[in-house]
Amino acid sequence: MTKLCAAPTEQALCLDTPLNTTTAKWQLLPGIDPNIIYEARYGVEITPLINGQAAFTALEQAILNAKDSIDIICWGFDPSLRLSGPKGQYRFGELLEKKARDKVEVRVLIWYSHTADWVWEFKEESLPDYDKLSGGYDNNAGKHIRQLDHYFRQGPVVSRHQRQLEAAFKRYQDAAKQWRETPSDQTRAVMENRQAAFETLYNQAYTEYDGTPFLQWEDRLFNEAWYRRYAQAGTGYKNLWFTTRDIKNFNAVMDMTEESGAPFEGFIQEQLGKYFATHHQKMVLIDYLKPKTALGFVMGHNMQKNYFDDDKHHFHSQKRYQGFRPWQDISTRVRGPVLVDLNHNFSRAWDKELPWDLWANQGSKIGSYRDYLTKEAFEPNQWRSEKTDSRTAFDCAMAQIIRTEYTDQDKSILRSYENALNNVTDYVYSENQYFRYKPFADQLIELAAKRKAKGAKDLYWFVVTNKPNSDGEGTNTYQMLKALGQGERLPQLDLETVQQMEDLEREIADYENKQANSRFQLWSDRYAEQADQAKAALAAMKAEHPEDAEKLERKRGEAIKDNLDVEDPKAAFELQNNVGLNVHIATLATCTRNPPPGYPTLYTSIYVHSKLLLVDDVYFLLGSCNINKRSMELDTELAIATPTPALAKHTRQHLWGAHAEKVKGSSFFNYQYWDELMSDNWASRYRGNPLTGFLVHFYDPDCEVAAPND
């Protein structure tokens, strides 16, 4: 029986008792949909690993315990990363070499684009210090690094950007102290400018040197030597193979977009999608041929230093690597029959890449010799005695590996999202790096309206994401926000049509003024004609965009508000929920706690890299997939999905407890609490006070109108 809360009058469902738990309605069926490749598996164990410290610690332990094989696929890889933190015993590359010496077969497959590397605007640093233009190794890298180090300071030191950061911090402190002692518009402006300069440097994840994040010179030299051994025929250990992969069939990628609900916005976006798709999967498979101890990782984390953080996300943290900002991400450790599908995904990708690689790796082919193992070998009775920590490992009656993969035309991630959103009866929680796939918004809006028409209770969508990284990314984000009644969170894009109307009004006034003052009838008639044309254009625009026409009258002449211009966020933006659907869009931020007397509170964003979907405290989906067209249709992605109430509820309570410090008993009350908390944090930032938790309003007054690029 459904447990109902005593209040509010909407009878919001308490989140103590899950609804909608019928397993069959959540799974995808390969035999019915040709775009589904892997079937649902039964008897699976999933352990959520929230933030880098938990994920990397579990990964390091699994690698240390490996007895037969270690298979890695990732977008980003740094051999100098220490999985247990900056003071850890082993660099990642050293750990893999250690296992190779122990006769464990190690295979590492990392994305790298030959195409993108030639275009600076699309240069990605998935492999720090791996020189793409020279074919995998820069013979001058060591000399270049030593010259930089000698120039800035002798011995192992932080990068020039780190020193610039320290200097910017000191300038900001001085300006803030001056403003507090002699408050004025001028001293406040100086303080805000220096604060912005400091926070810009603080939020930069990469330096100007090869995009390498604040790496010590000895780490860079280690990477150089490591890649030399394994990216070319060299002196690597017998059992360790490393190779890269790129997209090779652009037409197959474009076939994935047929019948898309989110068509390309223009030529630029289409070409970027076709020629600059990426291999974005993140997975690890340990000891596959030993089913009793075999386990896997389905990950959101890349294997790089900036991904290491904990739940506390301190502004200054000794646990993070030096120079990196706070980072939010989630991965999973898995056991059971889903390992069959992880092996299939890895082995086919590995063998497909080797013909493009150097001859030295040919001996590492997996071929079909692993195929003799079937799902029966991984049934729970085969490994139950080896179960991990029961406090965090969850037994899942059913789970399914899902992908975006152009070779097989696998669209199971997209299908899983569509199916999950169609099944929602209470809430959706999206914690995702991006929020820019409008068909999902349209689907939930339609479902909520139908439910409301039948007298069903409201739905809730809680979203935690990032502000757009660039103006081109803001365009697609804005389309999704506008559909949800949240367009004013990106005011420059929201007011684009309004500003065009204002421009037309100014044109009309200018033509009419010229007509009135013209001494010649010919020119007077010409100005009148131009005024009439502008009036017709304005009338057509108002008819096509009635909401913007109404907004023109309300906001005529108003300036866009910055976060520090007003104490109440309602004075900066107005939101309008759709019928039956209540939406919160948040991002995460942290601040300094208990600064010394006279020192101001400093703030910075927490970068959200998570790729999580929760529905109704029942459904859990986690992997490498973002909420954007790339992840749903173009890039290769990997995730795991399961209707397991205990796992979904545990994950929600853990995350909301960390982000908001409190978790209420129903979606209705959580929605109210989030609204109050984000407004209070807005006011706290305005006053220079510490934040409560991490939740802050998604609002970016600086994102400008631009052609979509993602």
User: What is the tens place of the pLDDT at every residue in 467-493?
Assistant: 987 667 788 899 999 999 999 999 988
pLDDT of residue 4: 30
Contacts of 567 (CB under 8 A, 6+ apart): 682, 683, 686, 687
pLDDT digits (tens, 9 = 90+) for 224-261: 888 888 765 445 668 898 988 988 898 999 999 988 88
Question: Is the Cβ–Cβ distance between 683 and 567 less than 8 Å?
Answer: yes
Q: How far apart are CA 58 and CA 64, in angstroms?
A: 10
Alpha helices, DSSP H, located in 470-626: 471-483, 491-494, 496-517, 521-544, 546-555
Longest dimension (CA), the chain: 98
What is the DSSP secondary-structure string of 499-540?
HHHHHHHHHHHHHHHHHHH-SSHHHHHHHHHHHHHHHHHHHH
Model confidence at 8, pLDDT cuts 50, 70, 90, reads very low
The pair of structure tokens assigned to 635 is 């890039």
Question: Is the Cβ–Cβ distance between 710 and 484 less than 8 Å?
Answer: no
Short-list 109, 120, 119, 114, CA closest to 133: 114
| β-strand pairing of 459-464 with 637-643 | unpaired
| β-strand pairing of 105-111 with 240-245 | parallel
pLDDT digits (tens, 9 = 90+) for 271-283: 888 888 999 999 9
pLDDT digits (tens, 9 = 90+) for 12-33: 344 444 445 567 899 999 988 8
| β-strand pairing of 69-74 with 283-286 | antiparallel
- Under DSSP, the state recorded for 204 is -
pLDDT of residue 140: 43
pLDDT of residue 16: 42
Short-list 325, 316, 307, CA closest to 81: 307
Question: Is the Cβ–Cβ distance between 633 and 256 less than 8 Å?
Answer: yes
Coil, strand or helix at 146 = helix
Residue recorded with tokens 């820069």: 138
Q: How far apart are CA 325 and CA 192, in angstroms?
A: 20
